[in-house]
Structure 1
Amino acid sequence: MSEPLAERLRPRTLDEYVGQKHLVGEGAVLRKMIDAGRISSFILWGPPGVGKTTLAQIIANKLQTPFYTLSAVTSGVKDVRDVIERAKGGRFFSSNSPILFIDEIHRFSKSQQDSLLGAVERGVVTLIGATTENPSFEVIRPLLSRCQVYVLKPLEKEDLEELLHRAVSTDIELKKRHIELRQTDAMLRFSGGDARKLLNILELVVEAESGDDVVITDDKVVDRLQQNPLAYDKGGDMHYDIISAFIKSIRGSDPDAALYWMARMIEAGEDPQFIARRIVISAAEDIGLANPNALLLANAAFDAVMKIGWPEGRIPLAEAVVYLATSPKSNSAYCGINDALALVRETGNQPVPLHLRNAPTSLMKNLGYHDGYKYSHDYSGNFVEQQYMPDALTDRRIWHAQHSPVEEKSYQQMLRCWGKRFEE
């Protein structure tokens, strides 16, 4: 039995690697390190099927250094120590530290990550971690501080089309058939930017055809996937489609759908912390100031799951999900911080107005620091109008109320304080 198509087409060199030009394109940061022949420890963060494992293998081949791999799902502390001992011996055969690749590093426990720290610090191994989860939540701070984090993106349409044409024109098995890619929109849509999923879909459709002539159309792809909906998702990556449906159902105020998608995740064995974390994010991003209690309840549900465990933890999660789905919605805070970040990137480091500066020394006071500052609590209503934005940005607005019943109170308070500045 031949290997799966996705494995047969796994790139062996950077020239064959598709996507992630911001990291491995000409002049990009990782490409420069690889071409220079030396790399430091880093973590690849991105969704499934975008080339994290492949990139690690290509780097090891390019640098001609020993390559060790561990899966965080199946490896324990003893496995980590055994690999480190083998890596110490492997160092004699290369000027570079052996590479230790850890797939799904976010699943490593604190003790497992602690067992890595010394070897990374001493340069016994160069660590390359791969994760689909935010490393700042899942990787211990001492280890994270010794690793650069590189973000991999879902593959673009052009990347996916290149993969499809490469598959039908170069793969040893597919070349035995006459395959016409008449329509590709459905395959690209179902793949969700995941190269492995895309190739699984292609393989599924081709294998379902009896003759040597295969014409691929959107209708045929949809029909095949309806007949066998899990076949194209061999790596369990439907996980990302379901969490997307879950979040969008909460945002769309549909408690039935939100509970359904959460039940799908629970039945599939999803990590309860993963679900709870997404609920907290949704409370802040989508409910926000329309109902600030939503974030409190979401945090309480997260804490409850950590305290009582599973399966009882499903109950506070369900309570939070129904509460969030049925709450009024506002993303004004989410939009506000995004707009503020965009403004900072656009305008750079604007100086702090003198009256807002801290003045702990007499020199600073003599320079005018803090001079003219008005202490709000000394004034009626605990408010006095004065400038808080940098001089160059005094006319810029960032937060815009969305006028839900709760948020309207905040908006009216701003009108009372600032008048026309906050008129929408």
Structure 2
Amino acid sequence: MDQPLAERLRPQNLDEFLGQNKILGEQSLLRKSLENDNVPSMIFWGPPGCGKTSLAHVIRQHTKKAFVALSAVASGVKEVKEVLADARKMKGLFQDTILFIDEIHRFNKGQQDALLGAVEDGTVTLIGATTENPGFEVNSALLSRCQLILFAPLSKEDLRTLIFSALRDHPRGLQLKDVEVEEAVVDKLITQSDGDARFLLNQIEWIGKNLGDRKIIDEKLLEEFQYKKPLRYDKSGEEHYNLISALHKSVRGSDPDAALYWMHRMLQGGEDPRFILRRLMRMSMEDIGLADPNALLLATAAREAYDFMGIPEGLIALDELAVYLSLAPKSNSLELAGMKADSIVKQTGTLPVPRAFRNSVTKVGEKLGYGVDYQYDHDSPGAYSAQEHLPKQLEGTEIYQPKPYGKEKALGERLAQLKQIKREKKQTGK
């Protein structure tokens, strides 16, 4: 059976390699290392179909060292130890070994630990490929022993080149030199592939092998064959954190269009709406707070509405909440106040409660004067006694500092009035 088109078109040398000009440019350190057959241990990190495995294939074609490839999906500690044992034997015969592990993020901690010593003492040069953030998925000890090489999705220009190379020009391609492709089809294939060369080649192969006697690939024909590429999203990986960060910053930045976009990217990627609701509720407190107290009420109501209605109708509650939070006035005064209160407590320890505010519930408390000199605020003018409630060592400390936005502006004015009354009372002694 013929190899798949994506496999047949793997580059055999650096001149055939498509894309990644930033890391493989003529003067790049990585390119010089490859040409000199002196590559270091590396972790290739990038999205699917961007050339990580293809670059490893190029290295395999041109290195004079022994080259062993493993897939973390199909291999375990046993296979790794066998490869390392063989590499030590080869080292004794003055033959170095390159060990390529595809999807290295699928190795657990124990499997990754098995590589540490061999990488450190030079038994093998490790090349690992991963679509997941190595900071999450690769042991820090192993990562510190490797160069991290970042791969980007292929550009539109690279993908356009790949389409016509695969269809017509490449000697290992489909060789359909008399088939025309409508420009709208080219644009759609490029957009749908989302930078993934492998996905694009699989689409082209499927279409090309089933053209029959047709000599043009138009949009109508494309609809017969094409399926939509799933959005790249991992609910437990880096993309999960990237997208929720973008959503949070869009809401904080009062940008409802961006907030809706990032939120629906997550929803279409399969994210649990309740996770998004929890984060939106956090934003209502962290970024809006008392500038609009209704934000938290709406967040709570949105959660209840979603739980009651479910999908799809309940998702409208998320849309309503995201837009409302984006357009609400912003204040982080509550978060700052909480952080300041924590800091003061850590610095000052367990300062005693002033006696006036202690409950005299025992005879001992009465003898010690618990509750004496407490002024009942409801009996004071304006229901405000202007007492100092903090420990004596902290009198006058300001923890909550309102922002002059939204409803919090009125709260700030109220607080300023109360502080003025307190100052006047201290000055007059009344």
Say whether the 8 Å CA contact 1:177–1:214 is kept in structure 2.
no
Amino acid at match of 2:208: V
Alpha-carbon displacement from aligned partner over 1:327-355 (angstroms, at most 9, x marks no partner): 545599xxxxxxxxxxxxxxxxxxxxxxx
1:134-145 correspondence runs (5 A)? 134-145=133-144
Alpha-carbon displacement from aligned partner over 1:123-159 (angstroms, at most 9, x marks no partner): 0000101111100111111101101111100000111
Amino acid at match of 2:16: E
What count of residue pairs does the alignment treat as equivalent?
303
Q: Report the alpha carbon displacement of residue 61 of structure 1 after superposing the two structures with TM.
A: 2.5
1:265-344 correspondence runs (5 A)? 289-292=283-286, 328=322, 329=325
Match of 1:252 among 216, 236, 260: 260
- How high is the TM-score relative to the length of structure 1? 0.60
Determine the C-alpha separation between the residues in 2 that align with 1:110 and 1:325: 40
Rg larger in structure: 2
Match of 1:390 in 2: none
Determine the C-alpha separation between the residues in 1 that align with 2:119 and 2:109: 15
Say whether the 8 Å CA contact 2:40–2:125 is kept in structure 1.
yes
Match of 2:72 in 1: 72
4+ aligned runs moved over 6 Å, structure 1: 241-246, 253-260, 278-284, 321-326
Q: Report the alpha carbon displacement of residue 196 of structure 1 after superposing the two structures with TM.
A: 0.6
> Structure 1 pair 39/178, CA: closer, same or farther in 2 (3 Å)?
same
> Structure 1 pair 31/282, CA: closer, same or farther in 2 (3 Å)?
farther
Q: Report the alpha carbon displacement of residue 80 of structure 1 after superposing the two structures with TM.
A: 0.6
Match of 1:4 in 2: 4
Q: Report the alpha carbon displacement of residue 176 of structure 1 after superposing the two structures with TM.
A: 5.3
Say whether the 8 Å CA contact 2:84–2:123 is kept in structure 1.
yes
Alpha-carbon displacement from aligned partner over 1:214-242 (angstroms, at most 9, x marks no partner): 312344323321xxx37xx6xxxx36168
Match of 1:52 in 2: 52
Q: Report the alpha carbon displacement of residue 166 of structure 1 after superposing the two structures with TM.
A: 1.6
Match of 1:163 in 2: 162
Unaligned runs of 5+ in 2: 248-258, 288-306, 329-393, 417-430
* Root mean square deviation of aligned Cα: 4.4
Say whether the 8 Å CA contact 2:233–2:269 is kept in structure 1.
no
Q: Report the alpha carbon displacement of residue 35 of structure 1 after superposing the two structures with TM.
A: 2.6
Say whether the 8 Å CA contact 2:232–2:269 is kept in structure 1.
no
Match of 1:194 in 2: 196
Q: Report the alpha carbon displacement of residue 325 of structure 1 after superposing the two structures with TM.
A: 7.1
Q: Secondary structure at the match of 2:152?
A: coil
Q: Compare 35-44 and 187-196 and name the one that shifted more.
A: 35-44
Say whether the 8 Å CA contact 1:289–1:330 is kept in structure 2.
no
> Structure 1 pair 217/135, CA: closer, same or farther in 2 (3 Å)?
same
Q: Secondary structure at the match of 1:252?
A: helix
1:381 counterpart = 2:398: yes
Match of 2:29 in 1: 29
Match of 1:14 in 2: 14
- How high is the TM-score relative to the length of structure 2? 0.59
Q: Report the alpha carbon displacement of residue 64 of structure 1 after superposing the two structures with TM.
A: 2.0
Unaligned runs of 5+ in 1: 263-274, 294-314, 333-376, 385-400, 418-424
Say whether the 8 Å CA contact 1:156–1:193 is kept in structure 2.
yes
Q: Report the alpha carbon displacement of residue 291 of structure 1 after superposing the two structures with TM.
A: 4.3
Alpha-carbon displacement from aligned partner over 1:27-48 (angstroms, at most 9, x marks no partner): 1231122233311111011000
Q: Report the alpha carbon displacement of residue 110 of structure 1 after superposing the two structures with TM.
A: 0.4
Amino acid at match of 1:83: V
Q: Report the alpha carbon displacement of residue 6 of structure 1 after superposing the two structures with TM.
A: 0.7
Alpha-carbon displacement from aligned partner over 1:65-95 (angstroms, at most 9, x marks no partner): 2111111111111011011112223336666
> Structure 1 pair 138/283, CA: closer, same or farther in 2 (3 Å)?
farther
> Structure 1 pair 141/179, CA: closer, same or farther in 2 (3 Å)?
same
Say whether the 8 Å CA contact 1:287–1:324 is kept in structure 2.
no
Q: Secondary structure at the match of 1:381?
A: coil
Alpha-carbon displacement from aligned partner over 1:238-285 (angstroms, at most 9, x marks no partner): 3616878996998539999967753xxxxxxxxxxxx69x9979977x
Amino acid at match of 1:381: E
Match of 1:240 in 2: 232
Say whether the 8 Å CA contact 1:185–1:218 is kept in structure 2.
no
Amino acid at match of 2:194: G
Match of 1:147 in 2: 146
Q: Compare 82-91 and 136-145 and name the one that shifted more.
A: 82-91
Match of 1:120 in 2: 119
Determine the C-alpha separation between the residues in 2 that align with 1:382 and 1:154: 48
Q: Secondary structure at the match of 1:69?
A: strand
Q: Report the alpha carbon displacement of residue 379 of structure 1 after superposing the two structures with TM.
A: 6.6
Q: Report the alpha carbon displacement of residue 383 of structure 1 after superposing the two structures with TM.
A: 9.0
Say whether the 8 Å CA contact 1:100–1:127 is kept in structure 2.
yes
> Structure 1 pair 221/136, CA: closer, same or farther in 2 (3 Å)?
same
Say whether the 8 Å CA contact 1:72–1:103 is kept in structure 2.
yes
Determine the C-alpha separation between the residues in 2 that align with 1:331 and 1:63: 58
Q: Secondary structure at the match of 2:398?
A: helix
> Structure 1 pair 7/257, CA: closer, same or farther in 2 (3 Å)?
closer
Say whether the 8 Å CA contact 1:18–1:159 is kept in structure 2.
yes
Match of 2:386 in 1: none
Q: Report the alpha carbon displacement of residue 198 of structure 1 after superposing the two structures with TM.
A: 0.7
Determine the C-alpha separation between the residues in 1 that align with 2:261 and 2:139: 36
Say whether the 8 Å CA contact 1:67–1:98 is kept in structure 2.
yes
Determine the C-alpha separation between the residues in 2 that align with 1:216 and 1:178: 11
Match of 1:209 in 2: 211
Q: Percent identity?
A: 37
> Structure 1 pair 20/138, CA: closer, same or farther in 2 (3 Å)?
same
